[in-house]
């Protein structure tokens, strides 16, 4: 089974015994839970589009390990062209779901771990790279969803892992056995973790020898003993539990998902361990994963941005304001900002280069510039969308009010009749359609989908300061000084 369908993917999740908790209780039938299912639908789209001949070139690739056609989300990049196709694929999926489709972190983790294990083996004579190649073959053959898990709870941000009052603030090795290791701790803010078959764990920061028990990378199934997940709340998420709230949901079909993944003394067999106390390579792995993931934002957020721009333009049409010059200018500015993000994603991909392991790495400086822009531009795009939509986006009555047949007032009209009458706008536009596009914008700008767009644009793949540190490191100021000296005739 090289390429699963969306239906097969959903059925495969039902076979897992993943421990999921929500609102303080275990969720047994989590695949069909109304708060969780939209995020599963998003992931299913990554499988469905791979079977569409129109998108096969973007959604699939030829494996360098087996020569078989595989889903691009399981692929090891073999050229700068592969890196470009990755960004284009992510934009496509953003356009199709208007949400976070969650599979990028695993793809980015594959490529970072692949090249890093090669260099660990080169220095220490370990066997991590061959182990990892076999693992990737397994993932590709079964078309699995893998959660790329890097972020630890971190505890006191001013203290290193080994200096924490509670040692479990970073995932760590608590026991070493002849056949494997036992780990304890957690990974938090984990995108798509509940909806994944597997988890690929990585350290979250560069480390010293004192932190070596935290320098660990491994793969593990979602339902092994000792792993459980606590689902993360999102704004307006309980609307999904309401009856007759189809319009109120905004994006009723798709959504993102984050969770706290706890490892309560979990055993990891040797063949699934890819770093074990090689602390001097933790920083390399973090830097490479972060670079790939910051590249990703030049695709996925742009695709969602395309939908926001379209929704804002529709809102202007339905409000009867589409001919106003300031509305046209705002849509131009939104497009300009969105395409600038795309330019950054394509640029860092086109400037990619081969690692020692043979897979392709993006230009790290440009990837960090891409993500730095993503921490800013989506906020302005959302602000402009809210400006165009108008205040009704956040003050309108519920769908039940629009459909209510309760008679009120002196004329005998129902609540529904009054709402539909008074919230009408442009001629020929149904009140329902106007409400739908405004609720959609509310959802994507402020509600559940904002997790996969606005706020996640700021903190996903590292905080803005993390990118600025990398830009300073990669910017090569000294070289620029020398360029200026030569032209200015300065000799020292």
Which residues are tagged catalytic?
100, 104, 191, 258, 293, 297, 300, 456
**Strands 198-201 vs 259-269: parallel, antiparallel or unpaired:** unpaired
* N- to C-terminal Cα separation, the chain: 65
DSSP single-letter state for residue 26: E
To the nearest 10 degrees (0 to 180), the angle between helices 325-350 and 80-97 is 150
191 is in an annotated binding site: yes
What Rg value do the Cα atoms of the chain yield, rounded? 24
DSSP letters, 375-419, are TTHHHHHHHHHHHHH-GGGGTPPPHHHHH---B-TTT--BHHHHH
Residue 440 host element (H or E)? helix 431-445
Q: Is 214 helix (H, G, I), strand (E, B) or coil?
A: helix
Among 46, 91, 451, smallest CA distance to 305 is for 91
Contact assessment for residue 398 and residue 432, using Cβ atoms and an 8 Å cutoff: no
Contact assessment for residue 62 and residue 69, using Cβ atoms and an 8 Å cutoff: yes
Cβ-based neighbours of 35, under 8 Å, separated by 6 or more: 22, 231, 237, 238, 240, 241
Write out the binding residues for FAD: 191
Write out the binding residues: 191
């Amino acid at each position: 089974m090289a390429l699963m369908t969306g239906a097969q993917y959903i059925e495969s999740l039902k076979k897992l015994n993943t421990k999921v908790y929500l609102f303080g209780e275990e969720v047994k039938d989590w695949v069909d839970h109304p708060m969780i299912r939209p995020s599963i639908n998003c992931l299913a789209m990554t499988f469905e589009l791979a079977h569409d001949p129109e998108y096969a070139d973007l959604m699939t690739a030829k494996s360098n390990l087996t020569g078989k056609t595989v889903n691009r989300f399981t692929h090891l990049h073999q050229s700068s062209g592969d890196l470009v196709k990755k960004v284009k694929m992510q934009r496509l999926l953003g356009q199709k779901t208007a949400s976070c489709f969650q599979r990028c972190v695993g793809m980015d983790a594959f490529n970072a771990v692949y090249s890093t294990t090669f260099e660990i083996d080169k220095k220490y004579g370990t066997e991590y790279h061959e182990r990892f190649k076999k693992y990737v073959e397994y993932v590709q053959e079964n078309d699995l969803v893998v959660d790329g898990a890097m972020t630890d709870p971190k505890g006191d941000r001013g203290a290193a892992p080994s200096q924490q009052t509670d040692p479990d603030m970073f995932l760590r090795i608590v026991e070493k056995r002849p056949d494997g290791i036992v780990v304890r701790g957690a990974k938090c803010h984990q995108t798509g973790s509940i909806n994944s078959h597997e988890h690929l764990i990585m350290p979250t920061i560069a480390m010293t020898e004192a932190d070596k028990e935290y320098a660990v990378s491994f793969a593990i199934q979602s339902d092994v003993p000792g792993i459980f997940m606590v689902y993360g709340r999102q704004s307006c998420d309980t609307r999904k539990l309401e009856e007759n709230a189809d319009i109120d949901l905004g994006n009723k079909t798709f959504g993102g998902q984050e969770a706290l993944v706890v490892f309560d003394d979990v055993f990891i067999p040797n063949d699934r361990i890819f770093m074990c106390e090689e602390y001097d390579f933790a920083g390399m792995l973090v830097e490479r994963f972060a670079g790939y993931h910051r590249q990703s934002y030049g695709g996925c957020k742009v695709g969602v941005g395309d939908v926001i721009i379209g929704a804002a333009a529709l809102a202007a049409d339905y409000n009867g304001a589409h001919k106003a010059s300031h509305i046209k200018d705002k849509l131009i500015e939104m497009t300009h900002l969105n395409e600038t993000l795309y330019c950054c994603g394509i640029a860092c991909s086109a400037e990619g280069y081969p690692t020692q392991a043979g897979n392709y790495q993006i230009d790290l400086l440009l990837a960090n510039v891409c993500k730095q822009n993503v921490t800013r531009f989506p906020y302005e795009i959302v602000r402009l969308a809210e400006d165009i939509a108008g205040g009704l986006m956040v003050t309108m009555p519920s769908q039940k009010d629009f459909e209510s047949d309760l008679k009120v007032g002196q004329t005998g009209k129902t609540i529904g009749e009054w709402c539909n009458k008074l919230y009408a706008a442009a001629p020929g536009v149904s009140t329902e359609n106007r409400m739908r596009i405004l609720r959609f914008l509310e959802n994507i700008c402020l509600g559940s989908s904002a997790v996969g767009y606005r706020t996640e644009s700021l903190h996903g793949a590292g905080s803005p300061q993390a990118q600025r540190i990398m830009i300073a490191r990669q910017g090569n100021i000294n070289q620029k000084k020398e360029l200026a000296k030569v032209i200015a005739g300065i000799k020292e």
